[in-house]
Amino acid sequence: MGRIQDAFSRARAQNRAAFVAYLCAGDPNFETSLSACVAVAGAGTDVLELGVPFSDPLADGLTNQLAAQRALESGMTAVKVFELVRRIREKTEVPIVFYTYYNLVFSNGVDRYVASAKAAGVDGMLILDLPPEEAGEASAACARHGVDTVCIVAPTTPDSRLPKIAAAATGFIYYVSREGVTGVRDRLAVGIPEAVARIRAHTALPVAVGFGISTREQVAEVSAAADGVVVGSALVNIIRDGLSKPEGIAPALAGRVADLRAGTPRR
């Protein structure tokens, strides 16, 4: 098994959900991002979802848009993102999933991009704006180079499309629990257990739930139904709030991850 499968299997054996942490690569700069990623990995993150900074991140809310902007303004490029992964991989074996957009993959050459990602240490790829019906070239490249594919199911996804989405995924299914974009929410979306059950009827892959999860209590509620819990904006906000004292970002992130992960065990 690969790192992603190992992470979910280990969490399942411990009767908990896997904790998936999102950070934007290069936010707010290369070295601070490196220390942030290593810190969240060391604090108990099971899967690191690494956002590849993009100028038009249409699935992201303001928090992650600004993170991408900070990363781009600091000089992050595709080459530097791969270098960041290599540096992270020197410190941890936590699985890394690219959270990216197809323009970034296509413009660099699909096969070359996927091969470079694998060589750097990337385990999976979630291409947000690439539906399975259009993903033939990217899926083939991922299969050729041993990179898992992660596919999205939304609340609006009809049952008729679930078999096609499930067939296109090899890593896990990411259930986007609410319509709209990423961001912290006061309340969880309704119907998460039912949605997870609907997806599981079509796949044996793990189902992770994200969008709007920001507290330990919310993590616990989602963990009761899902195989994984994704937290992003709540962590990215710690980077935003620590820009004046970047040396404090990594410890603050580690503390927040430890608190959130404490909600993953099932009772």
119-142 pLDDT, tens per residue? 999 999 999 999 999 999 999 999
Write the class of the CATH domain 3-260: alpha beta
Phi, then psi, of 127 in degrees rounded to 5: -100, 105
Residue 178: the pLDDT is: 65
pLDDT at residue 21 tops 60:
yes
How many of the other CB atoms lie within 10 Å of CB of 137?
15
pLDDT at residue 183 tops 80:
no
| Active site residues per annotation | 49, 60
Q: Which residues contact 226 (CB under 8 A, 6 or more apart)?
A: 17, 175, 192, 196, 207, 208, 209
Residue 180: the pLDDT is: 47
Tokens of 119: 């060589």
CB 79 within 8 A of CB 201: no
The pLDDT tens digits of the residues spanning 78-135 come to 999 999 999 999 999 999 999 999 999 999 999 999 999 999 999 999 999 999 999 9
